[in-house]
């Protein structure tokens, strides 16, 4: 009997062959936390250890409320900076970097075969580049700081195979919402969720991150997309090296025979940005350090035991939307078209990358934000921000009437900027629409793609992006 | 042992403890004040130590925020009984020493206000509708519960 990706990645970490259902203790390659790091530091102090076990494996990114909204948040940030200095934590990214998941990826700290945990539920994001990554809580983050290890149950696997050509103005967010609607918010509980098939491999890495990120919304332990050449190229662009240990053994054929990404519709006058290989790494990028294991590609064997398999054909997929207050309360956008929205949110760790901004602009170009609504744009990181500025996107959005914000989590969790008032509705590219999520339980949140958010910004109401 | 507060499926961490408080409410005792604010605002005044929460499937889905557990333990909630739990919530609960009990059709077997008695060691739960057994925790999880939570467990492991 063969092994799944999760079994292989965790076997490599455990130093022995492990199978789904086993509970193992592993030393993760990295432990991520963010503005919650002061609270974790408090838990750490309660343990009674003076120094963290592996300061180089701790990644801290300030992103949830940046710049600080008030003195309480400022104090929180100050305590984190003091802890970072006292403990000699090198992978600290202050408020000028972006959302933690995007920053960790851009730093090349995640890659094929790495095992990462993070005190944030969307830690699943790194599966987009072939890593095994799972969210944990604050207390266990503190204990992992102290001991360098934690327990994990080796998960069973759900494989979602996606086929078909991508229709115009339909992207990975529509696929993700469609799957959530089909299998439910608990459809992937405890599972390693693998996204594969020609239509998934036709997606850019930027778009794949949306799938891995929101796998958390179907309860997944980790999301994963088998790494291919696009991942190697993407990691090369952020300056990560060595890209792959050239270990592509066992990689299935991902050739997108009948699938194409289709015409982007951007046209010749589109803003463009072509990344240069290896030129984009931040000056303090930490990749290629001795403590990091080289990347190792792991692929699920054809005869591995799979808990559940789901087949999706996206050829006829319409734009999807999650209605209040559940991520799996999904319908075609057309079913709620005409619903008034007071705010449109484009960005966050789910859809705040350059391609997302481009996709929204492609809908918005030549139009104006409707006076009855407001469009907020939150690039996922300063790197994305810089790309967007260089491509001329920021100016285009501002000219169209959008509010261009600083990279960060912003209003997604109602902690900072762009909160909703009672009786207001928001269409958002973020990942959760739970009651009260954006500030008050009397407001409503709809989740949709960057294209659908742009379409709503034009009309002031929920609108099928193919019809504007 | 305690009275049951019964809720539905997919109770998420935002309604258990809202995101807007995550970085400003830092004291454990203070977290109790915001428990279930957007789900059942009367809960925090009505609940008594030893009471239990009963729910459907996927309890605790959403954020990794541990305050969604701590706000309950601070009020003295003795256990959460649900059809199933979201995985980070399950881990957080165990790590805080809060028993989380998986029981099929929990919200149908137990009605609001029912007196519920739990024998963790025996894996037995008694409610007015009958007596039910639930599976034992794995030895690894039981060891953390026995220690009184993950901090105490880690201290033991490090021989502090």
Q: Which residues contact A425 (CB under 8 A, 6 or more apart)?
A: A324, A339, A340, A341, A342, A343, A443, A444, A445, A446
Cβ partners under 8 Å of residue B108, min gap 6: none
Q: How far apart are CA A379 and CA A322, in angstroms?
A: 22
What local confidence, expressed as pLDDT, does residue B60 receive? Answer: 97
**A140, A175 contact by CB (below 8 A):** no
pLDDT over 90, % of chain A: 84
Task: From chain B, pick out residues whose CB is under 8 angstroms from the CB of A190.
Answer: 87
**Measured at the alpha carbon of residue B8, what is the angle toward residues B7 and B11, in degrees to the nearest 5?**
90
Q: Minimal Cα distance from B97: which residue of A?
A: A139
Mean pLDDT of chain A: 91
pLDDT at A290: 57
Nearest to A121 among B64, B150, B154 (CB): B64
The residue to which tokens 């705010």 are assigned = A343
The residue of chain A nearest to residue B61, with distances taken between CA atoms, is: A219
pLDDT (mean) for A81-85: 98
Same domain, A366 and A308: no
Flag whether residue B64 sits within 8 Å of chain A, measured between CB atoms. Answer: yes
Query: If you measure CA to CA, which chain A residue comes closest to B83?
Result: A186
Q: Total structural domains in chain A? A: 2
Nearest-CB residue to A186 (from B10, B65, B149): B10
**CATH (domain of B25):** 3.20.19.10
CB contact under 8 A, B64 and A151: no
- The pLDDT confidence band at residue A15, using thresholds 50, 70 and 90, is very high
CATH number of residue A49's parent domain: 3.30.499.10
pLDDT at A381 over 50: yes
- What one-character DSSP code corresponds to residue A380? S
A120, closest residue in chain B (CA to CA): B64
Interface contact B20-A43, CB threshold 8 A: no
Residues of chain B with pLDDT under 50: none
- List CB contacts (< 8 A) between A186 and chain B: 10, 57-58, 61, 84, 86
Contact yes or no for A136/B88 (Cβ under 8 A): yes
| Residue B154: strand, helix, or coil | helix
Task: Give the Cβ contact number of residue A417 at 10 Å.
Answer: 18
Average pLDDT of span A317-343: 98
Check whether residue A186 and residue A303 sit in a common domain. Answer: yes
ipTM of the complex in this document? 0.91
**Can you give the pLDDT at residue A246?**
44
Band of residue A256 on the pLDDT scale cut at 50, 70, 90? low
Distance from C-alpha of A453 to C-alpha of A463, rounded to nearest angstrom: 8
Judged against a pLDDT cut of 90, whether residue A276 lies above it is answered with no
| B160–chain A nearest CA distance, Å | 7
Give the pLDDT confidence score for residue A410 in this predicted structure.
Answer: 83
CB contact under 8 A, B24 and A73: yes
Shared domain check, A188 and A87: yes
Q: Are residues A64 and A213 in the same domain?
A: yes
pLDDT for position A265? 47
Q: Are residues A386 and A412 in the same domain?
A: yes
Q: How many domains does chain B have?
A: 1
Average pLDDT of span A243-262:
55
Both A155 and A171 in a single domain?
Answer: yes
Q: How far apart are CA A239 and CA A48, in angstroms?
A: 38
A204 occurs within a structural domain? yes
* Residue in chain A nearest B57 by alpha carbon: A186
Residues A371 and A301 in one domain: no
Instruction: Spell out which residues of chain B touch residue A437, defining contact as CB-CB under 8 Å.
Output: 14, 19
Chain A hits for B40, CB-CB cut-off 8 Å, are none
Same domain, A359 and A308: no
For residue A5, report the phi and psi dihedrals to the nearest 5 degrees.
-55, -50
Tell whether A213 and A85 lie within a shared domain. yes
Burial code (b: 16+ CB inside 10 Å, e: under 16) for A173-182 equals: bbbbbbbbbe
pLDDT at A287 (0 to 100): 47
Question: Does A372 lie in the same domain as A307?
Answer: no
User: Length of chain A, please?
Assistant: 468
Q: Is the pLDDT of residue A260 over 60?
A: no
For residue A130, name the pLDDT band (cuts at 50, 70, 90).
very high
B10 interaction partners in chain A (CB closer than 8 Å): 185-186, 326, 328
Give residue A63's domain range: 7-14+21-242+296-312
Window B:113-132, CB contacts with A under 8 Å: none
The mean pLDDT value for A10-21 works out to 96
* Residue B108 in contact with partner chain A when CB distance is under 8 A: no
State the residue range of the domain holding B28: 2-157
Q: Are residues A307 and A325 in the same domain?
A: no
Query: Which among B23, B84, B151 has the least Cβ separation from residue A139?
Result: B151
Chain A interface, best mutation among B70, B88, B96, by max A CB count within 10 A: B88
pLDDT band at A438 (very low <50, low <70, confident <90, very high): very high
Residue A258: pLDDT band (50, 70, 90) is very low
CA dihedral A277, A272, A259, A197 (to 10 degrees): 50
Q: A289 CB contacts (<8 Å, ≥6 apart)?
A: A56
Q: Is B73 on the interface with A (CB under 8 A)?
A: no
* Sole residue written with tokens 């094929």: A112
């Amino acid at each position: 009997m063969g092994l799944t990706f999760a079994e292989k990645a965790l076997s490599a970490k455990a130093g022995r062959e492990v199978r789904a259902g086993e509970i193992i203790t592993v030393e993760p390659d990295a432990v991520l936390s963010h503005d919650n790091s002061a609270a974790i530091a408090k838990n750490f102090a309660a343990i009674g250890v003076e120094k963290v076990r592996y300061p180089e494996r701790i990644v801290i990114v300030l992103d949830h409320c940046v710049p600080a909204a008030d003195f309480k948040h400022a104090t929180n940030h100050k305590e984190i900076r003091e802890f970072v200095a006292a403990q000699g934590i090198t992978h600290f990214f202050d408020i000028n970097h972006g959302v933690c998941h995007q920053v960790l990826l851009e730093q090349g700290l995640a890659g094929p075969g790495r095992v990462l945990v993070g005190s944030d539920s969307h830690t699943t994001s790194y599966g987009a580049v072939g890593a095994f990554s799972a969210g944990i809580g604050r207390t266990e983050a503190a204990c992992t700081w102290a001991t360098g290890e934690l327990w994990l149950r080796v998960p069973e696997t759900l494989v979602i195979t996606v086929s078909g050509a991508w229709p115009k103005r339909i992207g990975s967010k529509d696929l993700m919402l469609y799957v959530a609607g089909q299998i439910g918010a608990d459809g992937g509980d405890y599972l390693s969720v693998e996204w594969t098939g020609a239509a998934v491999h036709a997606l850019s890495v930027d778009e794949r991150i949306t799938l891995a990120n929101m796998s958390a919304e179907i309860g997944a332990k980790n999301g994963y997309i088998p790494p291919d050449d696009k991942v190697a190229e993407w990691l090369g662009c952020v300056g990560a090296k060595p890209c792959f240990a050239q270990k592509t053994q066992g990689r299935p054929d991902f050739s997108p025979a009948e699938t194409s990404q289709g015409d982007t519709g951007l046209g010749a006058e589109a803003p463009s940005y072509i990344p240069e290989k290896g030129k984009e790494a931040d000056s303090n990028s930490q990749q290629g350090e001795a403590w990091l294991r080289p990347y190792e590609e792991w692929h699920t064997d054809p005869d591995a035991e799979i808990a559940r398999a789901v087949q999706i054909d996206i050829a006829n997929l319409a734009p999807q939307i999650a209605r209040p207050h559940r991520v799996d309360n999904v319908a075609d956008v057309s079913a709620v078209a005409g619903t008034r929205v007071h705010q449109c949110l484009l960005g966050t760790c789910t859809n705040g990358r350059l391609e997302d901004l481009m996709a929204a602009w492609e809908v918005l170009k030549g139009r104006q934000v409707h006076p009855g609504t407001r469009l907020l744009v939150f690039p996922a990181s300063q790197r994305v921000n810089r790309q967007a500025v260089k491509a001329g996107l920021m100016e285009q959005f501002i000219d169209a009437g959008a509010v261009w914000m600083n990279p960060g989590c912003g209003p997604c969790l109602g902690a900072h900027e762009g909160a909703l008032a009672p009786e207001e509705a928001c269409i958002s590219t973020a990942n959760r629409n739970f009651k009260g999520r954006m500030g008050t339980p009397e407001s409503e949140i709809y989740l949709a793609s960057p294209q659908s958010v742009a379409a709503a910004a034009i009309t002031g109401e929920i609108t099928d992006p193919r019809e504007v | 042992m305690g009275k049951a507060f019964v809720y539905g499926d997919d109770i998420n961490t935002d309604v258990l403890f809202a995101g807007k408080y995550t970085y400003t409410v830092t004291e454990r005792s203070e977290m109790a004040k915001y428990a279930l604010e957007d789900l059942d605002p009367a809960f925090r005044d009505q609940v008594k130590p030893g009471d239990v929460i009963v729910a459907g499937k996927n309890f605790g889905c959403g954020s990794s925020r541990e305050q969604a557990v701590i706000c309950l333990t601070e009020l003295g909630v003795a256990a959460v009984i649900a059809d199933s739990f979201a995985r980070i919530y399950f881990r957080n609960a165990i790590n805080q020493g809060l028993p989380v009990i998986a029981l099929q059709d929990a919200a149908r077997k137990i009605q609001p206000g029912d007196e519920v008695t739990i024998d963790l060691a025996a894996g037995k739960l008694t409610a007015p509708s009958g007596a039910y057994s639930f599976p034992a925790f794995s030895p690894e999880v039981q060891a953390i519960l026995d220690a009184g939570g993950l901090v105490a467990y880690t201290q033991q492991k490090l021989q502090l």
